[in-house]
């Protein structure tokens, strides 16, 4: 991965708000992602995580607030901001009629990568993702896990220092999930920065240096994982999440109500 390219936070979000009609999807959201840090955006489905990431990556325009990637204002200089990140969306748009190699070549061309470097990176990433033998296979024949690996390869193809990952472990088997976690930790350990969204609290607790728990587009708690646990008076991030967001009382199952 490339080294950090500027001073200050890798990602800075200030008072971000995004509405869809009468729905406030992101409500005055603020947080920073530091250099060499894995930052987790933790929330239930519909909490505003994906909308936030789409604004960060220039796919949606906010109603108000600011976003800076490596010091670059996303609203004023979107192309320059996009050059500095690798983005893995929750539902990657892949081209089923292209082969894996053709898809990565297309991405590299759009990234204006020099051909020799592009060829080397494609070979390296296909091998790393264990997709080398499928390099000439159409993406439409790939399983969900294979598609996720190819999408990840496309996100890191140009060696960005800043990664924005939306549910990055989705669809991966346990072995590759472990490899991805180790790779992401190594990226941060080398000075890179990672913003990842997830609703899987165990992944966030295991991987992240800092987290922000959001609900209905608002930050309920933010800081180091240990600090969030202490503030919520809980021992696990799962319990902290439930305490902050609020859990419903499920009725007891019929089997648990049987008398002996």
CA nearest neighbour of 194 among 215, 211, 173, 214: 211
Q: Strand runs (DSSP E) across the chain, as ranges?
A: 11-20, 23-33, 38-42, 64-69, 72-73, 85-88, 162-166, 193-198, 210-215, 218-224
Phi, psi of 107 (to 5 degrees): -60, -45
Distance CA 40, CA 199 (A): 10
Q: Which two tokens stand for residue 223?
A: 């800081």
Q: Is the distance from CB of 104 to CB of 154 less than 8 angstroms? A: yes
**What are the structural domain ranges in the chain?**
36-60+161-246, 91-160
pLDDT recorded at residue 199: 86
Distance CA 214, CA 43 (A): 5
The per-residue pLDDT for range 63-106, each reduced to its tens digit, is 999 999 999 999 999 999 999 999 999 889 899 999 999 999 99
Distance CA 144, CA 170 (A): 9
Q: Which two tokens stand for residue 250?
A: 């499920």
**Whether the predicted model's global pTM rises above the 0.85 cut:** yes
Chain centroid offset of residue 164 CA: 4
The per-residue pLDDT for range 213-241, each reduced to its tens digit, is 999 999 999 999 999 999 899 999 999 99
pLDDT recorded at residue 3: 46
> C-alpha distances in angstroms, 243 versus 6, 51, 196, 233?
38, 24, 22, 9
Query: Looking at domain 36-60+161-246, which CATH architecture does it have?
Result: 3-Layer(aba) Sandwich (3.40)
């Amino acid at each position: 991965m490339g080294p950090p390219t500027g001073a200050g936070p890798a990602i800075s979000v200030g008072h971000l708000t995004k509405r869809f009609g009468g729905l406030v999807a992101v409500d005055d959201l603020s947080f920073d992602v530091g250099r060499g840090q894995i930052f987790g955006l933790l929330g239930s489905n519909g909490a505003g995580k994906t909308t936030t990431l789409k604004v960060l990556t220039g796919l949606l325009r906010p109603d108000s607030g600011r976003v800076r990637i490596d010091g670059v204002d996303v609203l004023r200089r979107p192309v320059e901001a996009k050059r500095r990140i690798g983005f893995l969306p929750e539902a990657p748009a892949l081209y089923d009629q292209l082969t894996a190699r053709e898809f990565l070549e297309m991405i590299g061309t759009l990234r204006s990568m020099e051909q020799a470097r592009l060829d080397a990176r494609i070979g390296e990433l296909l091998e790393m993702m264990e997709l080398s033998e499928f390099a000439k296979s159409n993406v439409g024949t790939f399983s969900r896990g294979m598609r996720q690996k190819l999408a990840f390869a496309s996100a890191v193809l140009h060696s960005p220092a800043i990664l924005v990952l939306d549910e990055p472990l989705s669809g991966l088997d346990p072995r590759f999930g472990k490899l991805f976690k180790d790779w992401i930790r190594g990226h941060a350990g080398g000075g890179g920065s990672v913003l990842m969204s997830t609703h899987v609290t165990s992944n966030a607790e295991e991987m992240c240096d800092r987290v922000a728990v959001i609900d209905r587009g608002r930050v309920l708690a933010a800081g180091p994982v240990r600090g969030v646990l202490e503030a919520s008076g809980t021992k696990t991030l799962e319990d902290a999440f439930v305490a902050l967001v609020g859990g419903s009382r499920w009725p007891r199952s019929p089997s648990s109500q049987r008398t002996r």
